[in-house]
Amino acid sequence: MMPVLESKVALVTGAGRGIGRAIAERLARDGASLIIVEIDGKTAMESSAAINKDGGTATPLAIDVAGEHSGDEAIAFATSTYGGIDILVNNAGIAPNRRVLDTTLEEWERVLRVNLTGTFLFCKAAAPVMAKRGGGRIVNIASISGQRGGTGRGAYGTSKAGMLMLTRIMAVEFAPENIAVNAIAPGPIRTDITDHSEGTVSSYLDRIPMRRYGTTGAIAAAVAYLVSPECDFTTGVTLNVDGGFDSTGLIFSQDDLRASDPE
């Protein structure tokens, strides 16, 4: 059977490690040719080499997504390498954990610049090229931190909330060009940025009905669905991949639930 993304070109930002690498590997297995965009040239090359060794097709591009012309340069690179772009995944992100009062203007601006402005610049560059090819798919990797208030998430959560609204607005604006724009809001996923203390882990697990962290593969699978031909009538949504966090209110203990059973 032909892979579902055969002849598609996909660009994933921040694909040198963690969630982005898992997404790139999954889309490559599904048949797409990949551009691995990364600020860290070394991991971009490692990630690309792993995909090519596995029988896929990938090309690294070392670039900072926050640069004024990075989006244009990356899409021009995709066009000269593979002839265009069909799938864009905005995954590159930075996530400092700092209270609002301790956040410097410099840090605030950098977080918004990488996470939100980077997404804007890549979408702005990619959409006209997708439109010329008859359509495309954009997936923005946001976060549950963009949906709820939490300590230390001033700049990060605000940037992710901005990504969620930008997703909706672009979904509406790009629909006539047959470009679907969706977001994923991951809960805690085991990667290099979630080296959490015991206290933080238990704080997360208290709010997650599935009582565990997620895997990078779960996010990659959600992206694979959103960019697949089967996902044919979905745009502007946020798919939470969070073990139930978004639905959770109070979680009573089994003891309390038993205590209130009628005798």
Ligand X SMILES: NC(=O)c1ccc[n+]([C@@H]2O[C@H](COP(=O)([O-])OP(=O)(O)OC[C@H]3O[C@@H](n4cnc5c(N)ncnc54)[C@H](O)[C@@H]3O)[C@@H](O)[C@H]2O)c1
Of 1-9, 173-181, 184-192, 223-231: span binding ligand X (CB under 6 A): 184-192
Nearest to 219 by CA among 53, 43, 15, 58: 15
When the beta carbons of 133 and 148 are compared against ligand X, the nearer one is: 148
**Cβ contact 31:57 at 8 Å:** no
Identify the residue among 191, 235, 238, 240 touching ligand X (CB under 6 A). 191
Count of chain residues binding ligand X (CB under 6 A): 29
* 154 interacts with ligand X by CB under 6 A: no
* 91 interacts with ligand X by CB under 6 A: yes
The distance of closest approach from Cβ of residue 250 to ligand X in the complex, given in angstroms and rounded to an integer, is 23
* 107 interacts with ligand X by CB under 6 A: no
When the beta carbons of 40 and 177 are compared against ligand X, the nearer one is: 40
**213 has catalytic annotation:** no
* 89 interacts with ligand X by CB under 6 A: no
* 143 interacts with ligand X by CB under 6 A: yes
The distance of closest approach from Cβ of residue 118 to ligand X in the complex, given in angstroms and rounded to an integer, is 6
Identify the residue among 45, 131, 193, 221 touching ligand X (CB under 6 A). 193
The distance of closest approach from Cβ of residue 92 to ligand X in the complex, given in angstroms and rounded to an integer, is 4
When the beta carbons of 17 and 137 are compared against ligand X, the nearer one is: 17
When the beta carbons of 191 and 235 are compared against ligand X, the nearer one is: 191
- The 3 state secondary structure assigned to the chain is CCCCCCCCEEEEECCCCHHHHHHHHHHHHCCCEEEEEECCHHHHHHHHHHHHHCCCEEEEEECCCCCCCHHHHHHHHHHHHHCCCCEEEECCCCCCCECHHHCCHHHHHHHHHHHHHHHHHHHHHHHHHHHHCCCEEEEEECCHHHCCCCCCEHHHHHHHHHHHHHHHHHHHHHHHHCEEEEEEEECCECCCCCCCCHHHHHHHHHHCCCCCCECHHHHHHHHHHHCCCCCCCCCCCEEEECCCHHHCCCCCCHHHHHHCCCC
Q: Which residues are catalytic?
A: 156
Binding-site ranges for ligand X (CB under 6 A): 13-14, 16-20, 38-40, 43, 64-66, 91-95, 114, 141, 143, 186, 188-189, 191-194
